Amino acid sequence: MTWRLLGQCCKREFGWLKAVFAILVAIDVSLVGWLAQNYDDAPIFLQIVCSAATVAMTGGIVWVNRVAYKKIDELEEL
């Protein structure tokens, strides 16, 4: 693979990572907002599920962020 094609591949992957990052952030913010508004009225099971989903989304955000920084480093090396 030539350097030019490798750079295009990394840029394309970086674009997908940005989209996934934005989706995960939107879901995470929505879950936190829902939990903040409904913590009194929601059943405890639903609160636990929402909290677990928030932790999972936050973990996904951190993972995508790390992968994106690795891709940025790869692009800088080209």
pLDDT digits (tens, 9 = 90+) for 29-70: 999 999 999 989 999 999 999 999 999 999 999 999 998 888
- Label residue 26 exposed, middle or buried (CB < 10 Å: 0-12, 13-18, 19+): exposed
Residue 28 forms part of a structural domain: yes
Residue 10 forms part of a structural domain: no
Q: How many domains does the chain have?
A: 1
Instruction: Note the pTM of the prediction, 2 decimals.
Output: 0.79
Task: State residue 78's pLDDT score.
Answer: 62
Residue 55 forms part of a structural domain: yes
Contacts of 63-66 with C-beta under 8 Å, sequence gap 24+, read 64/17, 64/20, 64/21, 64/24, 65/21
Residue 35 forms part of a structural domain: yes
**Whole domain around residue 43: which residue ranges?**
17-77
Residue 9 forms part of a structural domain: no
Residue 72 forms part of a structural domain: yes
